[in-house]
Amino acid sequence: MFNKMAAYLTGELTATSEDYKLLENMNKLTSLKYLEMKDIAVNISRNLKDLNQKYAALQPYLEQINLIEEQVAALERAAYKLDAYSKKLGNCCPLLLLPSSIVPCKGTEKHKKPSTKNWRNDEITTVFKLELGYESD
């Protein structure tokens, strides 16, 4: 009977000892996993700092791109207005758009086609400057 009791107690103590060894191994593995996660977090933090520095270095260029985009939009609006104006001018005074080799319709002979020498580049530039919001000369 004492032998059976000793065997039972030995089995219980062995099982408890094995449980503690298992817990010890699990703690070691968990500790290693947390060290790996710490290394990953450090690398992520370092990469994030590098990306923030690169973004800060690119910020002036991004602002220039935004400014150019706004200027292009303003130039596009000016071009549309100029196009609409030229169409209106063409509808109002069709002789302005006729080449010199085309004979005008009846009743329009009294209108003279203006010379292209009358166009001045600075007038066109002034229209664009006004549309873009610049001061005129």
Q: 14-23, 48-57, 80-89: which has the minimum mean pLDDT? A: 80-89
What are 31-76's pLDDT values in tens digits?
999 999 999 999 999 999 999 999 999 999 999 999 999 999 999 9
Q: Are 135 and 129 in contact (CB under 8 A)?
A: yes
CA dihedral over 48, 54, 56, 59, signed as positive or negative? negative
**Amino acid (one-letter) located at 20:** Y
